[in-house]
Amino acid sequence: MTNPPLRGIISYPVTPFDRATGEVDLAALSRLTEDLVSAGSHAVAPLGSTGESAYLREAEWDAVCATTLQTVAARVPTLVGVSHWSTEGTIRRARVAARHGATAIMVLPQVYWKLTPAELEQHYAAVAAATDLPLMLYNNPGTSGVDLRPETVAALARKIPNLTMVKESSGDVTRFRSLRELSDGALSVYNGNNPLALEAFRSGAVGWCTAAPCLAPQRVLELYAAVTRGEDARAEAVLAELLPFLRFIVGQGLPRAVKAGLRLQGRDAGHPRTPLLPLPDRERERLRQMLERLARAPLADGSAVGRAQPTA
């Protein structure tokens, strides 16, 4: 396998909106991005589904891309989600990301009509050719309605040289190994299914793409550290602590859950953009309790987590 430009914990920020106006809050975005870098994230990935990319106007998308990458300032790699309904729109976003210094781009087949194999190949090839950046194919049938199986992905990668990474979020842990084997190790594979974090690393994933560090960065980073040190028992213990929280934020919808958690921690990111609605009070209380439990659990060095402690 070639040395991937991304590995470890790849953190996905939400896109904050001003609570009064509903407009993108770039100052809050910069603070959240700085928090993710300062906490020790190995990479930052704006404008995925967590970042409500599909609900942004193009000028807003550009501003979020620019602000995030300027805040990161090349201290860690950046992965920008450039998906759009059209190939033309995806290419435009890819070029904006490249102009602002992105390390790599991520493309979900965000479509209304189910694409044929020829259409998928054309779409990914055209986007890949638009920049020199490495491209991550994002397979998330739960949000896109398209399931790109390992055989399809490997075939695309053989035809598109800079398609070198895959974010696999189907929930099928066998695919991590299949993707590596079918590509003869040429594809770097990343986990996008939070509850499968440990199984994915054990099956050859080189990174975990997750919004969880927005709320519980040190716990997520500790899991990865335990994996890299070969401390299986510790990794399993940390995952057991995280699992209720990980399942909750995915089950409730990442923008809803993460924004509710940020407000609990005194870092308001506003409401999600309609048609999404804020997390209901009952679920918000459940999240508060989960964050309190995570904050009370000591890290491997015996220190308290700190950041995960809700303030209200």
Measured between alpha carbons, how far is 160 from 172 in angstroms, rounded to an integer?
24
Instruction: Please tell me the predicted confidence (pLDDT) of residue 224.
Output: 98
What percent of the chain shows pLDDT beyond 70? 95
What percent of the chain shows pLDDT beyond 90? 88
Structural domain of 122: 8-229
Q: Is residue 299 part of a domain?
A: no
Q: β-strands 104-107, 207-210: how paired?
A: unpaired
Predicted structure pTM score: 0.94
Q: Is 55 a catalytic residue?
A: no
pLDDT in tens, 183-194: 999 999 999 999
Give 2's pLDDT tier (boundaries 50, 70, 90).
low
Q: Is residue 285 part of a domain?
A: no
Give 303's pLDDT tier (boundaries 50, 70, 90).
low
Instruction: Please tell me the predicted confidence (pLDDT) of residue 41.
Output: 98
Q: Which two tokens stand for residue 182?
A: 């079918």
CATH number at 202 reads 3.20.20.70
Q: Is residue 187 part of a domain?
A: yes
Give 309's pLDDT tier (boundaries 50, 70, 90).
very low
String of DSSP letters for 62-130: HHHHHHHHHHHTTSS-BEEE---SSHHHHHHHHHHHHHTT-SEEEE----SSPPPHHHHHHHHHHHHHH
Instruction: Please tell me the predicted confidence (pLDDT) of residue 133.
Output: 98
Q: Is residue 292 part of a domain?
A: no
Instruction: Please tell me the predicted confidence (pLDDT) of residue 190.
Output: 98
Catalytic entry in 12, 124, 167, 224: 167
Mean pLDDT of 39-66: 97
Better-predicted residue by pLDDT, 58 or 116: 58
What DSSP state is assigned to residue 180? H
Q: Is 259 a catalytic residue?
A: no
Catalytic entry in 12, 55, 114, 138: 138
In the chain, the N- to C-terminal Cα span, in Å, equals 47
Better-predicted residue by pLDDT, 1 or 61: 61
Q: Is residue 248 part of a domain?
A: no
Q: Is residue 310 part of a domain?
A: no
Measured between alpha carbons, how far is 278 from 116 in angstroms, rounded to an integer?
36
Measured between alpha carbons, how far is 126 from 124 in angstroms, rounded to an integer?
5
How many domains does the structure of the chain reveal?
Answer: 1
Q: Is residue 288 part of a domain?
A: no
Q: Are 84 and 102 in contact (CB under 8 A)?
A: no
Lowest-confidence pick of 17-26, 137-146, 251-260, 302-311:
302-311
Q: Is residue 236 part of a domain?
A: no
3-state secondary structure of 267: coil
